[in-house]
Amino acid sequence: MMRERLRTLVPSREKLREISALRPVAHLLHRSELWHLNRRSVSGAAFVGLFSAFIPLPSQMLLAALIALVFRVNLPISVALVWVTNPITIPPMFYASYRVGAWVLGIDTDAPGLEFTVDSLTANFFSIAEPLFVGAFICGSVSGSLGFTVTHFIWRHRVVRLWRQRQRRRALDRHKAQTAGESKDPKGETHRPS
């Protein structure tokens, strides 16, 4: 059931081939391991997609596709999770990454003259690049690890639940078969077949 739901949500091979950012890896899309829907592949894809979403590069989808190819995880999910970054989420994600990177590197973020406007960011790009990339790597690793862990445990919980339901159903079927096998003699006494 979970696989069917995922198959309807993730883009197909044909749709991924149409994405211009993925043209450099389009010839590799035939690999079967990139399309598996199992716990390892989907959990790994959650890590790759969320990690790549934090990296401040223009072609995050290509980065996610390359990492998915290297680690042989589900490619469509890896690429789709990059779409977490959009015009609404990019500013807070990159600002948080910058703050984390500046904190780790011991850089004063209250420096005068540093404003988060497009002009100020382009003029001061090299002074903010190091904390931004360090923070993006850290935030991407943390969010990817959380995505991996949550996906892994949701998948496992679902499999265990379905397994228990199947066990209960089998036990109920055995009980019904035993009950149906019982017969009554003419005096009304119940006898089990031997």
- Domain map of the chain by residue range? 2-88+144-176
Position 154 pLDDT exceeds 60: yes
State residue 22's pLDDT score. 67
Of 62, 128, 51, 129, nearest to 85 (Cα)? Answer: 51
Angle between helix 125-181 and helix 90-105 axes, rounded to 10 deg: 110
| DSSP-assigned letter for residue 108 | -
Q: Helix, strand, or coil here: 183?
A: strand
| pLDDT score recorded for residue 5 | 65
Least confident of 59-73, 104-118, 123-137, 167-181: 104-118
Q: Which of 45-54, 80-89, 108-117, 169-178 has the lowest average pLDDT?
A: 108-117
Judged on CB neighbours under 10 Å (0-12, 13-18, 19+), 79 is: buried
pLDDT at 116: 62
Is residue 139 within 8 A of residue 54, CB to CB? The reply is yes
Task: From residue 13, give the alpha-carbon distance in Å to each of 53, 75, 85.
Answer: 21, 9, 22
Structure-block tokens of residue 125? 């790009």
φ/ψ (deg, to 5) at 183: -130, 160
Pick 23 or 157 by higher pLDDT.
Answer: 157
SS3 124: coil
pLDDT band at 45 (very low <50, low <70, confident <90, very high): very high
The dihedrals phi and psi of 30, each to the nearest 5 degrees, come to -80, -10
Split at pLDDT 50, 70, 90, the class of 193 is low
Q: Tokens for 186, please give them.
A: 């003419």
How confident is the model over 152-178, as a mean pLDDT?
89
Q: Are strands 190-191 and 183-184 parallel, antiparallel or unpaired?
A: antiparallel
Contacts of 179 (CB under 8 A, 6+ apart): none
For the chain, helix (H) and strand (E) counts, in that order, are 8, 2
Mean pLDDT for 66-77 is 90
Percent of the chain clearing pLDDT 90 (strictly above): 30
Output the average pLDDT for the chain: 81
